[in-house]
Structure 1
């Protein structure tokens, strides 16, 4: 018997268990006595020796929150003769808390009266702590998953849905309970955003290939209630410690805004924002594709180049707003008369391009004539005036013999030029002999016209106000040049500046403008009564004139000496002169531009960077230049009231300019809506018909 008890005690010690023996009084545990083995006493934190104590004393070791429950469960098991199982906490003398697990049977006398409970008790503190830690980790994981902005779903190895976090429930429309056990392809239904066809599911692909699957860029989620949401999704396997796949986790998020913005940017990269037509870059790409099919498959296409004959007159007399409306109307008019496969593009300003795929030259002539006649019959009304229009059209055939895209575009441009030279409002089909004829004729024509303008003093200066939006009155004008020929016609710079640049005459024109502006300032000063002249000379902010300089002039090392000579001759304060330089001209001549600008800046001249924002390298070069004004490219300004992307661009340029201590000017402010947005964004100056029209500055030089 002793040997059996010893073996039993060894087994209990190995299992970290002890005898739990409670004697009852009148069937009540609370009135009885508890007998502990040495191991049982140790479970209470007491010395490891046999111990007996009243049940009330035993309850003194039990955690306050567990006493009532322990007594109730024990007494119920005694009363029902079923025994009991329970877990409770005890407080050791050193203050530690331990969890005990007790299981006992009820022993009764011959009359069936309960006399004692006898069973086993063991310390389960470590297991409880592990359970609590696991529960806390699970709770933390669930709280984390429910807090993040991404949807998270998990599956079993067969692709059945196991879990959705809160965001996944919101995005899919499925609750955890409804989704559980359903195929992931049902609860996370994915289709291609373009075709609407089901996609190879990211979770299924992940389970099949047993590897992570990266983000897709064209997935769309069909929700439980039938809505569609653009999402970016990815999946990764869930592995057990022994390398078995337990399922997959899918992470996805709503990218509707980002994808819409990306589509807008993509559209803007290939289209003209004013008319909605294809832009020059995309048109050239389409012409290149047409040329490829012509060479590879023998197809024949036609390319048309259209130049509106009266557009500049309308733009100059009625403002850019009128010109914009005219272009929008003409775009709709011409588009309505073309096949779905035909391409109408705006190439810039008043120049349009047409690509007629699979169209022989004879039929292209008919299409071109129809377009010409439609524009000829069109009447444009603005305010109280009505304008008739014409169009000059150059046409070139795209065949297997065509050489390159650039040569096709040049040929169409030259044919259009000849159509204008032959009387305008007509079609000219490109011939090989046109190249030399156009070049020779153009050179002779523009060289003679520009030389005549110098000799006969046909150049005229005009002023476009630059108006401060947030401060007092000040006089600031951009100086513009025109030619008034012998017939009294006013020729805008768009007609002669390209030729002047081509034939190296821009330096002479720039010097003429500089001298004429200095002469004008002196004339205004000399015409004032003595007291007014004195007041003018004492003004802290004298009238400021912005003069445009070409890239050719920036590279002219002798120009600075010419400028200072004019200042001395006409007694001009350098502070009254601001030189406007385009971003592209500065970048093309950066080292010379830096020297030129720093030297004149030392004298007191100011500098304005024109068309700022047209290149993405702008901010990098800006830090190296002593610039006083940034003129924000009109491409971003003109539709800022309705285009969120352009508004953001203007806001960014304005803020960067201000951080660098540079004032900002918005160009092409043509209406009150645009002006209101420009004011709201904090731009310093505005220029355009909404704040002031072009007016003559001087009639020429004496």
Structure 2
């Protein structure tokens, strides 16, 4: 090893390291470029020569093949034109830089720092620059070192490239310059062979090892590194030589002070003209302070993040694109998310659509301009879908170019606050409404200053003008009636002294000139020492109440006199049921005097029994006190007086309540109905029994049959009905007279009674017809009973004046079970069966079967189907019309419903009820609807002058037509091809059809309304659905079903239903039509209920449509 001075590599050292004369300058500048990259901690650096004619790359580090393009880049010109150090922190944000090939191409340059190199005479000779693929900044110290390095590089470059073309061997001077530069650096700088043998070290390197620089030459680079890092650094140097890469690493070692130190090493390959690595240039920088700072910063950041995330406030930070970078634990708890579910998501995702739009259109533009926002109201959506109200304040962090980097926001959850404020506002509004509606005034009196405050209602109560009110107690004193001033002062003084709430009535001289009664109530408030401070109270006008109290006292006296003079008996009791008072009639009927009965239990004075059984009945007053209901028992009861005299009575009882609804007692009113009840029993028997035979009459029989039918429907029980007809009764009646016929009927009655059970019902239905209801009896059992009757009648002979008559019976037997819906149907079946028995030969029984009725109905409907088909072919239908009039005339013109009739072959008119059921069953309803619609369109298309007076033609459509696409197409074609005034048309759809086919009906209604026609819902109320479907049907009229109209005067339920329908129609903006208006009381009732239009026989009986409209005579 040469022990001479530490030298740079040239021809002086080991021959294996020698290079040609031109290699030394290139190696020097490559080493200088590597030094610049290390100094600035960038992976790339380059030195370029600039002459008036060309740009030439002198040296580059880290750019590889991309470096060949550099002499042609505009960045060099930009650097030459800039005074001092040119820095571009992020090329992507600099418009005229980001489109360059080095930025947009494979190199992907994002950071650039460059400086002009000058000759000694100040002329530019080239540029020195460093680059990185990541945005970054250079601190002030690094900028100063980089500028100093550039000065030395500029001098070296000027010497190696003189302005004249004459060349000289400047290698020694270049080496001297390089030595001067590297010796001045505080970084450790060395040159080593590819095998790691040191050929040069600077003073900083030697100082760290503690040995002279000359002693280090020829030693291995790795022996001066910590043992644990030697293998890794050797591997890196091998990679640098093998692949001509720039690699770096950080080495931790123990310093002379005993503390850990870190050195950052960067290794650059130095190549000859053939591209062979002849040396490795290494630069080591002490980064101990940076590592300690980074560790401290990391610990600080960890503590800060922990503090940030655990702070009891909603915090979040977002990047420039609005993505969440961090959120606090409170933010997560409020929103119901885990941190992993929200980081990286756009913060706008958690806003409601309205808040998002407000943020984007209003808040964000101002925020981007000012960099902060304060107390912005937003609504955010929690994970479970619920909303929270927040107040957001945020501040923005920007980069050096002023571009947004990130934002930090603080959010305050004000959901509960808003709820409290809303509740407070609601309570204030309710209080204001309550006081306004109930006429309650609020006042406050300062007991120290005697200042009086009134709200607006107080001025109305006292009739005082606010302008004359001075706000003093004297204002109140002037209003009080002179006779009540002392009362007011006494009550107020007592309230202040005792602390008890004040409540009393007094009179005032009202502003209207009259005397009013006013109630005042108040509470006194005291300080901690017990001194009264203020009185807060309310007042309201009780003039009407006082007047009613006086009137009540007068009526009480009038009632007392009345109760003594009326014909009904009256007893009053207390809340325990003890007698308090009897009027004279009660004294006479009970046998108790008023004085001796007072205080006795009512059950002792008023003893009642069941009139039929004689068993004691519970006192009605006891029932009233137990059930808290007005008692009106249906049982017939008798009062047994004290002396044993029975009285048939009717009684009613009702509780007597105070103002708070508490029961004070009971009043019992009863009257003697003994005679009326006897007459009622007699009249009831005559109304329900046959006078000749004593049997139940037809009306009573049908009533009992309906009960048996209801029993079978509810309990699935089995009964039977016999319809009995005497075969030869007319012969006896004609031969012997009616008196003898009556005798025969009585004898037949006795015989029939002997054949049936006592529980069964035997009735004379009329003439020689009898009926029997066999309860809980099967058809087989009933058939045996019927046959028994036939057998006895077969043997029976009626004898009169020596003449013998044989009387037979024909019996129709029908099971009474759940197949029947009404007693009329059962009676008709029994009558038919009896007729069948007669047809079969008399004196026999015919049992009804289902096939009897179904075959008859089926046959009749099939006949109608054939007749309807023929009528359609022969055009034998006729249009009728019935007026629909406004109950309160409005002069709008003629309204009518278009009706259909069938003209039979003999010219008679058949009503629709006879053929429309068959038309529905055999799918002919839609064809009939087409016929009606076509003729109505023909009529409107005639343009007859009389049609000008027509306001509405209501046309019925069946459910089949509504759901039939072919019918709808037919109707639309008719509208298109035959234009008419569609505003005169109104289609009526039955409620049942609309409910059954709600979707199709809704579509049809919308289509028709779009064309200008109106629609009505017919037979409204007949369906058993709710009113909800009306929302889906935009109809114009509700035609209330006639079953509610015909009994609306006498049936409270029907009247309530009609009122309900009208209320629904008014809410939905619909008009109502009442059908089946047949008399004036019904019309007047509908007027009172608010029905808009009426239709029925009272208004108009249907007539041919042409005549009704004035088109024909």
TM-score by length of 1: 0.48
- TM-score, structure 2 length as denominator? 0.32
Bigger CA radius of gyration: 2
Q: Identify the structure with bigger relative contact order (alpha carbons < 8 Å, sequence gap 6+).
A: 1
